[in-house]
């Protein structure tokens, strides 16, 4: 059975990606990161989702000791973009330098070590926070890294980097997730780092917009 | 003063790269990794070299818990290629999946957070162990990652990925290092994980060949 690493943060996009990968016949190995994020709560969601589909989950702890993002727990008070329009104007302060490159590089190492054929990542570049490492040309470049920077790649068996949601809107992702049976009630999006979703941060705003546009009620208990 | 991150493993190549970066006028921030390697001894060398040039050194601890390389301390007995010719035939078992991609991605995050303009890495693709992530086209691909996957990159100020030794032979590197005043006696190459160099592993063999071809005596106390 073909194997895949699935980057599972615990949000709607990564959960839908996991369910998608399973429909494609992959034996999935989930990978999540404890990287000092405020919303460490998402790891609990990742665990619950992985358990739901009986896939192993690896929680990779990585300490990024430098500043550079308001998303880090140690970075003091956080202020979120006031509107979705503001997100579109500039990259928000919640951007974590090189985050997806770090996550993908570790996933690549894991994939090669267990001889997985693919890495799935739930990035999308439509209803997103504007992060550079969520855009299509970035993934085109990382596919080259997977081909040129690994033993299996230069031997002719590169690990595929699959980004199935890249060009979907949040509403389309939610509709797809519903069709695939994704347990939205287990997912977590909020960045604020509290026990309940704040309803105001980029992640909450995008989630709210997505559910409204999809015409589906969000069962997460989110204030939105 | 322009800043750079220098990946400093503690070997001849990375030490020469550090000295090179300094001659180019960079304020250097050294970065080394404790990743479960047998030859953790190299970190002591990295410390000594950074101290010698009064540059800060950050030791980044990263636990890669999977198998996949005989270079890991937990991987049991190691056998090295019997000759340099054998290295050229196939990628040795000391290859660590995706190592340089992991190191570079973390360096990229560090660089962006301190607003460094460049990352220096001492990879070379002539007298090397054949690792895929030491080859020129891999670095061309990673330069794209630095440009497309970071905030500073998409804003028009990408971090440069500089690989000054990429096409030099080990002898050329050693001659350059001597000219720049690199303290070879502080460097460490051996993979075997003992207190003294084994003289037999890929790294010791390539070092020995380099010093002989450069016509310089190696003062490291290596059996070779």
Both tokens of B95, joined, read: 């290859």
Which residues in chain A touch residue B109, judged by CB atoms under 8 angstroms apart? Answer: 64, 66, 68, 96-99, 101-102
Residue of A nearest to B94 (CA): A151
Contacts 24+ apart (CB under 8 A), A64-67: A64/A35, A64/A36, A64/A96, A64/A102, A64/B106, A64/B109, A65/B58, A66/A97, A66/B109, A66/B110, A66/B113, A66/B114, A67/B113
3-state SS of B49-84 is: HHHHCCCCEEEEECCCCCCCCCCEHHHCCCCCCCCH
Which stretches within A73-201 are classed as H helix?
Answer: 84-89, 99-113, 136-148, 151-154, 170-180
Query: Are the C-beta atoms of residues A190 and A203 closer than 8 Å to each other?
Result: yes
Q: Is the pLDDT of residue B31 over 70?
A: yes
Is A8 a known ligand-binding residue? yes
CA distance B39 to B164: 25
Please, are residues B170 and B127 in contact by the beta-carbon 8 Å criterion?
yes
Is-contact A220 A187, C-beta < 8 A?
yes
Mutation site for A-interface testing, chosen from B151, B152, B166 by largest number of A Cβ within 10 Å: B151
Is A101 marked as binding a ligand?
no
* Rounded-to-10 torsion of CA A133, B146, A36, A166: 10
Q: Would you call A29 an interface residue with chain B, using a CB distance cutoff of 8 Å?
A: no
CB proximity list for A77: less than 8 A, separation 6 or greater: none
- Compute the nearest-CA separation of B173 from chain A (Å): 23
Q: Is B154 on the interface with A (CB under 8 A)?
A: yes
pLDDT tens profile A170-193: 999 999 999 999 999 999 999 888
pLDDT at position B136: 94
Segment holding A77, helix H or strand E: none
The CA-based dihedral angle spanning residues A161, A167, A169, A170, taken in that order and rounded to the nearest 10 degrees: 10
Q: Which of B149, B155, B157 to mutate to test the interface with A (most CBs of A within 10 A)?
A: B149
Hunting for tokens 């609990």 — which residue is that?
A44
A153 touches B at CB < 8 Å: yes
B129 inside 8 A of chain A by CB: no
Of the residues A61, A70, A148, A158, the best mutation for testing chain B's interface (the one with the most B CB atoms within 10 Å of its CB) is A148
| Helix/strand number for chain A, H first, E second | 8, 5
Annotated ligand binding at A11? The verdict is yes
| Residue recorded with tokens 């003062």 | B219
Distance between CA atoms of residues A58 and A32, nearest Å: 6
pLDDT band at A130 (very low <50, low <70, confident <90, very high): confident
Residues of A within 8 A of B142 (CB-CB) are 145, 149
Interface residue A99 vs chain B (CB under 8 A): yes
pLDDT tier at B80, thresholds 50, 70, 90? confident
Average pLDDT, chain B: 92
- In chain A, residues with a C-beta closer than 8 Å to the C-beta of B132 are 148-151, 153-154
CA distance A148 to chain B (A): 5
0.90 surpassed by pTM: yes
pLDDT digits (tens, 9 = 90+) for B135-153: 999 999 999 999 999 999 9
**A109 neighbors B64 (Cβ within 8 angstroms):** yes
Give the residue among B137, B70, B150 at the shortest CA–CA distance from B109: B150
User: Does B30 appear as a known binding residue?
Assistant: no
Q: Which residues of A touch B63 (CB under 8 A)?
A: 61
| Residue B112 touches chain A, beta carbons under 8 Å | yes
Question: Is A61 at the interface with chain B, CB within 8 A?
Answer: yes
Q: What integer is the mean pLDDT of A38-60?
A: 96
Nearest 5 degrees, angle CA B41-CA B45-CA B49? 170
Q: Which of A151, A153, A158 best tests the B interface by mutation, with the highest count of B CBs <10 A? A: A151
A-B contacts at Cβ under 8 angstroms: 124
Q: What is the dihedral of CA A121, A122, A128, A129, to 10 degrees?
A: -50
Rounded Cα distance, A21 and A115, in Å: 16
pLDDT greater than 60 at residue A224: no
Helices B99-113 and A99-113: crossing angle, nearest 10°? Answer: 170
Output the CA torsion sign for B184, B187, B191, B197. positive
- The β-bridge relationship of strands B118-120 and A27-34 is unpaired
Contact A97 B64 (CB under 8 A): no
Q: Is A162 annotated as a binding residue?
A: no
Measured torsion, CA atoms of residues A90, A96, A100, A106, in degrees rounded to the nearest 10:
170
Q: How many CB atoms lie within 10 A of CB A185?
A: 11
| Residue-wise pLDDT tens digits, B100-124 | 999 999 999 999 999 999 999 999 9
Do the beta carbons of residue A70 and residue A112 sit within 8 Å? no
* Contact indicator for B10, B43 with CB cutoff of 8 Å: yes
Q: Which chain A residues touch B61 with a CB distance below 8 Å?
A: 63
A112 pLDDT above the threshold of 80: yes
Question: What's the confidence (pLDDT) of residue B221?
Answer: 56
What's the CATH fold of domain B3-214? Rossmann fold (3.40.50)
For chain A, first and last CA: distance in Å?
A: 41
Q: Report the interhelical angle of B170-180 vs B202-214 (nearest 10°).
A: 70
Indicate the range of A45-49, A126-130, A164-168, B15-19 predicted with least confidence.
Answer: A126-130
What's the angle, vertex CA B12, arms to CA B10 and CA B16, rounded to 5?
A: 100
pLDDT band for position A223 (50/70/90)? very low
CB B218 within 8 A of CB B207: yes
Q: What's the confidence (pLDDT) of residue B143?
A: 98
Rounded Cα gap, residues A194 and A116, in angstroms:
36
* Cross-chain Cβ contact B109/A99 below 8 Å: yes
Residue B8 has pLDDT above 60, yes or no: yes
- SS3 state of residue B14: helix
Confidence of residue B223 (pLDDT cuts 50, 70, 90): very low
């Amino acid at each position: 059975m073909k194997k895949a690493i699935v980057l599972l943060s615990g949000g709607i996009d990564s959960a839908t990606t996991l369910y998608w990968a399973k429909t494609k016949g992959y034996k999935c190995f989930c990978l999540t990161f404890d990287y000092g994020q405020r919303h460490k709560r998402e790891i609990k969601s990742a665990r619950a989702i992985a358990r739901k589909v009986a896939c192993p989950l690896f929680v990779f702890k990585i300490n990024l000791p430098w500043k550079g993002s308001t998303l880090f727990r140690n970075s003091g008070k956080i202020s979120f973009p006031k509107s979705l329009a503001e997100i579109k104007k500039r990259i928000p302060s919640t951007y974590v330098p090189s985050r997806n490159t770090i996550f993908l590089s570790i996933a690549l190492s894991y994939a090669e070590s267990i001889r997985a054929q693919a890495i799935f990542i739930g990035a999308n570049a439509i209803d997103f926070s504007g992060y550079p490492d969520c855009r299509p040309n970035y993934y085109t470049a990382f596919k080259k890294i997977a081909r040129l920077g690994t033993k299996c790649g230069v031997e002719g068996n590169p690990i595929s980097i699959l980004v199935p949601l890249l060009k979907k809107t949040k509403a389309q992702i939610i509709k797809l997730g519903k069709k695939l049976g994704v347990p939205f009630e287990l997912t977590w999006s909020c960045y604020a780092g509290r026990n309940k979703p704040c309803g105001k941060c980029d992640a909450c705003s995008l989630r709210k917009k997505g559910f409204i546009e999809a015409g589906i009620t969000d069962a997460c208990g989110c204030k939105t």
